[in-house]
Amino acid sequence: MKQLLDQEARSLARSYPISIEHVTKDYGGTAAVADLSFVVKPGRVTGFLGPNGAGKSTTMKILLGLASPTAGRATIGGLTYHQLADPTATVGASVESDAFHPGRSGRNHLRILADATGTPLERVDEVLELVELSHAANRHAGKYSLGMKQRLGLAAALLCDPPVLVLDEPGNGLDPQGIRTLRNLLRSRAADGNTVFVSSHLLGEVEQLADDVVVVNQGRLVTQGSLDELRQSASLVRTTSAQALLVTLEAAGGVVENRRPDTLIVRGLSLDEIGERAFSAGISLHELSRHNDSLEDRFFAWTGDTDGGTQANAKDES
Q: Return residues touching another protein (CB under 8 A).
A: 61, 64-68, 81-82, 84, 86-88, 91, 93, 95-96, 98-105, 108-109, 111-113, 115-118, 156
Is 67 or 216 the residue whose CB approaches another protein more closely?
Answer: 67
Instruction: Kindly report the length of the chain.
Output: 318
The nearest distance, CB 92 to another protein, in angstroms, is 9
At 222, phi and psi to the nearest 5? Answer: -95, -50
222 vs 213: CA distance, rounded Å: 10
The nearest distance, CB 158 to another protein, in angstroms, is 13
Is 162 or 254 the residue whose CB approaches another protein more closely?
Answer: 162
Is 112 or 312 the residue whose CB approaches another protein more closely?
Answer: 112
The nearest distance, CB 112 to another protein, in angstroms, is 5
Is 91 or 209 the residue whose CB approaches another protein more closely?
Answer: 91
Is 115 or 276 the residue whose CB approaches another protein more closely?
Answer: 115
Is 103 or 309 the residue whose CB approaches another protein more closely?
Answer: 103
The nearest distance, CB 87 to another protein, in angstroms, is 6
The nearest distance, CB 24 to another protein, in angstroms, is 14
Give burial (CB, 10 Å; 0-12/13-18/19+) of 162.
Answer: buried
CB 87 within 8 A of CB 163: no
The nearest distance, CB 111 to another protein, in angstroms, is 6
Helix extents (H) in the chain: 2-13, 56-63, 87-90, 106-117, 122-130, 146-158, 176-191, 203-209, 227-231, 242-251, 271-280, 295-303, 309-317
- DSSP label at 142? G
Query: Which residues touch 118 (CB under 8 Å, ≥6 apart)?
Result: none
